A and B are shown apart, each in its own frame.
Chain A
Amino acid sequence: MIDFELHDTLKGIEAFVHQFAEQTLRPLAREADTNGKVDPKVIQMLGQIAGNRATIVPEERPDAGEERARLGNMLSMIGSEELAWGDAAMILNIPGPGLAGPSINAAGTPEQKKKFLHDVFTGEEPRFGALAVTEAQAGSDVSNVQTTATRDGDEWILNGTKVFCTNGARADVLVINATIDKSLGREGQKLFVVLKDTPGFRVGKIEKKLGLTASETAEIVLEDCRIPFDHILGGEDALKPKSGFKGTMKAFDASRPTVAAMAIGIGRAAYEYVRDWSAVEVPAHSRRRPFVEAKLAHMKRELDAARLVTRKAAWMADRRIPNSKEASMSKAYAPPAALRACIGAIEIMGPEGYSKEHLVEKWYRDIKVYDIFEGTGQINRVVISRNILGRLDELKPENNGS
């Protein structure tokens, strides 16, 4: 039966996370943005409150019950939206596996999940994970990755340079995409785990960015970096044809809706802020009122629509229904909708909107990257249209996957 009621467990978590976002994150957002970093003491505190594994999805946790596993992706949507509502940049500083989580979860063997997730992210102390896929010349075209992994007996030797890696500089566990054979094109792409302090691994420059300034984005340099053979995600099976690249893509099916949920959190922050501002600053008799009302309604409608398609993608993932089309839809739809909400907020507030006295200008800067990282809006449209062209049943309401 079609039912939009959230599970009680999810409602409870939504309320808990919202409180954390409102009381802890939001008040520190401006300072972190201005400083371009989060105070280590604050990171420690965030870690403590979040149990040092805020972004870990429940099914990755050894103590997760069956119910939690069934709600895992949905929970990730709810949590991510609320956290990003608090502050999108600061939450990337909350200790946890980050995007290494979905990758290891989607492509790793049970032993690898234990070794690289459960044994590392125990919750006892702050630990970070990161995913390094992008290279200067290879963004959406992941198959153009030049980083190589060469087998040498029981080891892999990695060489190459990765860019735009969130938390790359402080990661304990890094998932890296590399090719084992350039002549195989994307079939030669595999995911590898590199642990902190591995010789041959070095952090390059730290980027200065338009937004999300309080989140650290690093360049990763690999120079004859040797890792054990079993650090290839998926183990021996990953060497079979048609397994590696799909592993990377599969991880996107889990991470894209999460990124979309974060974008919705930012858009909702802007919407709610300007709605409350307008209630005071744009009185009912004001000539601007009809414009403001229409704008607000449109912003809300688009955010609601974005949330529904994002949650549908998560609902499918929780039921193990292939969701690559819906994951891409959420990622292609939500960030521009949230960006329009931020633009609308600045338009409504006028000169107050661009002032640093309010967070609206920050949200406008922060939101832009959500239409870029984890697959640009354009590459996600490629995924969506490929799912439809040739498979027209995809347009029917009950056909939920590829």
Chain B
Amino acid sequence: MELEPTDEQKAIVDAIRDFAQNEVRPANRECEEAGVVSERIEKQLVEMGVAAPVAEQYGGQGTFDTMTSVLIAEELSWGDPGVAFSILGSGLAATIVDLAGTDAQKSELLPKFTEGARGSVALAERDAGADFTVLEARATKDEIHGLKYGVLHADSAAVRLVVTGGDDLGVWIVPEAEELSAQQEDKLGLRAASTFKVRFEGVKTERLGGSPDPAKVRLALLRAKLLNAGIAIGLGRAALEYASVYAQERTAFGRPIGAFQGISFKIADRAMDLETARLLAWKAAWAIDNDLNDAHELVMSACGHAAAAAVTTADDGVQILGGHGYMRDHPEELWYRDAMTLATFDSPSMIGDVFLSKTYEVAE
């Protein structure tokens, strides 16, 4: 067992961390209020090759393995979870095309990302968030029918993908000319990421990868899922760190409130939740990168744990700041909203658990 990231990963983490601290965190309210990531931040992340990782042969700066993408997600989300969700969720389309597309599709779609184009992946449904094996959207004769929630950039993406369920779990490419019936979601948190409810009624599309290959699609979607675990961990770390600073500065009854165990035990508990969530996410990333059989189970487990950790940590974050935590002068209330949105969006811990349990009989 080894828990030391590579030198390359460390360098990337350092770069993103600096950027998150100097550029993203100070702009968190600006992005939230505008409902989009500021142009300045988006442009820089595209230039850094982080927004949409594309292989060099398609004009990009190279792709990341799953482990690296999880490390990046944590750091960027520390800056702002909404920004991370918007940017990395957009780039996910590039990763999915890269993993499951034909050569022709890659040549056509991937170079768009290097020019700053956004991507969009329509995956979540009302009854199928984390569990993409029960998706109800269907493709018949290359036409898509279904209702999708939380579709990022449905109004602006140049590369739009739709995931459909059934026996042949598939990803489909919506032609750029196609007008979608999209309704912007006015939501609790992650407001810097503009998302839409999209109804597909016979939208004509083309299958990513040409012929059905559910195994390949599943792998690509697992990477998509795990990204949310990374975002949840970054959010939790931000909230816990902020509350820990506050607990040392704020005094009550003549002592810093962090000296009281009612506060310090919360900090210890949430630190354990985050540490365990991070290790589960790393293990899941390692399993994907090494093509292990239990990757699916590990991803669901990591997502469930990370989402729960983020929600609990953000809750305690507000609680530790007390009345101040409720005010917009501090970011805890932002993370409190973001955490629950992230959890319901895509990896509710409940669904993660139930789904996971379906694998135990065959897995063990």
Shortest CB distance A276–B (Å)? 9
Cβ-closest chain B residue relative to A383: B268
**Complex alpha-carbon distance, A1 and B243, angstroms:** 32
Judge whether A66 is part of the interface by a CB distance below 8 angstroms. Answer: no
Contact B272 A309 (CB under 8 A): yes
Cβ-closest chain B residue relative to A290: B354
Considering the complex, which residues of chain B in the window 5-40 have a beta carbon less than 8 Å from any beta carbon of chain A? 5-6, 9-10, 13
Judge whether A113 is part of the interface by a CB distance below 8 angstroms. Answer: no
**Complex alpha-carbon distance, A381 and B282, angstroms:** 24
Judge whether A28 is part of the interface by a CB distance below 8 angstroms. Answer: no
Contact B258 A305 (CB under 8 A): no
Q: Which of B6, B287, B356 has the most CB of A within 10 A?
A: B356
Q: Which of A6, A272, A308, A329 has the most CB of B within 10 A?
A: A308
**Complex alpha-carbon distance, A7 and B1, angstroms:** 7
Of the four ranges (under 10, 10 to 19, 20 to 34, 35 or more), the interface on chain A belongs to 35 or more
Known A74-B1, A381-B268, A385-B264; judge A305-B241 contact (CB<8 A): no
Contact A329 B275 (CB under 8 A): yes
Q: Which residues of A contact B71 (CB under 8 A)?
A: 397
Judge whether A357 is part of the interface by a CB distance below 8 angstroms. Answer: no
Interface SS of chain B: helix, strand, loop or mixed? helix
Considering the complex, which residues of chain B in the window 122-136 have a beta carbon less than 8 Å from any beta carbon of chain A? none
Could you count the A-B residue pairs with CB atoms below 8 Å apart for me: how many are there? Answer: 142
Q: Which residues of A contact B269 (CB under 8 A)?
A: 381
Q: Which of A308, A378, A389, A396 contacts B283 (CB 8 A)?
A: A308
Considering the complex, which residues of chain A in the window 305-332 have a beta carbon less than 8 Å from any beta carbon of chain B? 305-306, 308-309, 311-312, 315, 326, 329, 332
Contact B1 A300 (CB under 8 A): no
Judge whether B167 is part of the interface by a CB distance below 8 angstroms. Answer: no
**Complex alpha-carbon distance, A326 and B354, angstroms:** 30
**Complex alpha-carbon distance, A260 and B115, angstroms:** 51
Contact B354 A293 (CB under 8 A): yes
Of the four ranges (under 10, 10 to 19, 20 to 34, 35 or more), the interface on chain B belongs to 35 or more
**Complex alpha-carbon distance, A74 and B269, angstroms:** 24
Judge whether B279 is part of the interface by a CB distance below 8 angstroms. Answer: yes
Judge whether B304 is part of the interface by a CB distance below 8 angstroms. Answer: yes
**Complex alpha-carbon distance, A392 and B272, angstroms:** 14
A–B complex contacts, Cβ < 8 Å, 13 sampled = A1-B6, A3-B286, A4-B282, A7-B1, A294-B350, A300-B356, A305-B280, A308-B276, A333-B272, A385-B265, A388-B244, A389-B248, A397-B74
On A, residues with C-beta under 8 Å from B are 1-7, 74, 272, 275, 279, 290, 293-294, 296-298, 300-301, 304-306, 308-309, 311-312, 315, 326, 329, 332-333, 378, 380-382, 384-386, 388-390, 392, 394-398, 400
Closest 8 CB pairs of A and B: A293-B357, A305-B276, A297-B357, A385-B264, A308-B279, A381-B268, A384-B268, A297-B356
On B, residues with C-beta under 8 Å from A are 1-6, 9-10, 13, 67, 71, 74, 237, 240-241, 244-245, 247-248, 258, 261, 264-265, 267-269, 271-272, 274-280, 282-283, 285-287, 301, 304-305, 350, 352-358, 360-361, 364
